[in-house]
Amino acid sequence: MKQKIIIDTDSGMDDIIAIAMIISSKKFDIVGMTTIRGLATPIVGKKNLTKILNFINSKIEIVSGSKLPLDKKRLNCSFPTIDKINSSKLLCLNDLLVQTKTQNQNYSASEFLFQKVKSDKDKITILCLGPLTNIAKAIQKYKQEFSQKIGKIMIMGGAVFTLGNVPPSRKAEYNIFLDPEAADIIFSSGIPIILVSIDATKFVPAREELKDRIESVETKEKCGKIIKNIILANKNDFNYFYDPLAAGILIDPEIALETITTGIEISKNPSSIGQTCTTQKNINVNVVTKVDTQKFINLLFKTIK
């Protein structure tokens, strides 16, 4: 039986690669997607993903999530403007996608998440590719009734034993930095977590020479066409395969060569907001620290082909 998953995403360009990889693998029953504020707004993200799912003939339900972080003072925390523009407009996919109507929704992302996990007899995996607000709100509202139905959460985020990517201090990583309060709720929830942090993603750089190899690859599958277009159009929108690596490890756990089990707490210090720090409390996190680069690249090419 296929593993059941929910994908929570801020709909960035590398998120879309990750989603295409998951769908193409045919290993999972994707019971829903939720969008969150990050590289795109939740509403724009839902519109873009609706067009993508329509292109690949997929009927996965998408619900737009929280427009705000848990603490409104974090509203000044954001991705670089050019990255948000590129992810929102998705110009690199204009020749593939057509305008598609999005369905109206009568419930919040947290309600949607709760109903999906509650109605299923099996525990569900959540793949988090953006800030963690939606999941934190579900934990806050439904508590153990929600948490106990989650088998594990796979999170792309954080920088535990290495530098992050948020300037100027580079102590934090963007997905955690945008809503550190939400991240703190999840890491202290007791839910088993696999953390694909920058410690791991540094092994999968999006190098220019990879573009040259991908350009010559002929692809007939629609998911492969999406991935190929995004990678060829990438101009520093992502320097590493952040979210695709998380998807890759979910598809093939052997891509992860080394993990460290620890607790994680989130810094609220103004000089290091969003930094992921190890702790001996709530030891429920497996931090991926090393991956098989070639095995990931092989999976990426297999998906494109």
State what percent of residues in the chain have pLDDT above 70: 100
Which DSSP string do the residues of the chain spell out, in sequence order? -PEEEEEEE---HHHHHHHHHHHHHT-EEEEEEEE-SSSS-HHHHHHHHHHHHHHTT----EEE--SS-SSGGGGG----HHHHHHHHH-GGGTTT----PPPP-SS-HHHHHHHHHHT-SS-EEEEE-S-SHHHHHHHHHHTHHHHTTEEEEEEE---SSS--SSTTT--S-HHHHT-HHHHHHHHTS---EEEE-HHHHTTSB--HHHHHHHHT----SHHHHHHHHHHHH-SSS-SB-HHHHHHHHHH-GGGEEEEEEEEEEE---TTSTT-EEEESSS--EEEEEEE-HHHHHHHHHHHH-
State percent of the chain over pLDDT 90.
85
Round the CA-based radius of gyration of the chain to a whole number and report it: 18
Residue 99 clears pLDDT 80, i.e. is over it? no
Distance CA 74, CA 81 (A): 16
What tokens appear for 236 in the block?
């520093």
User: Cβ distance 15 to 37 under 8 Å?
Assistant: no
256-266 and 150-156 strand pairing: unpaired
Mind listing the pLDDT tens digit for each residue in 247-267?
999 999 999 999 999 999 999
Residue 174, phi then psi, degrees to nearest 5: -60, -45
Q: pLDDT tens digit string along 121-140?
A: 889 999 999 999 999 999 99
Distance CA 217, CA 211 (A): 10
Partnered with residue 32 across adjacent β-strands are 6
Which is more confidently placed, 261 or 237?
Answer: 261
State the pLDDT confidence band at 105, using cuts at 50, 70 and 90: confident
Give Cα separations from 284 to 193, 280, 289 (angstroms).
6, 10, 16
Q: How many CB atoms neighbour CB 7 within 10 A? A: 29
Q: How far is CA 248 from CA 6, 10, 22, 290, in A?
A: 15, 18, 8, 13
CATH second-level architecture of 3-304?
Answer: Alpha-Beta Complex (3.90)
**Looking at residue 91, what is its pLDDT?**
86
Q: In the prediction, which pLDDT does 295 show? A: 98
Which pLDDT score is estimated for 141?
97
Q: Quick: pLDDT tens for 53-95.
A: 999 999 999 999 999 999 999 999 999 999 999 899 988 898 8
pLDDT at 121: 87
- Of 140, 138, 141, 118, whose CA–CA distance to 128 is shortest? 138
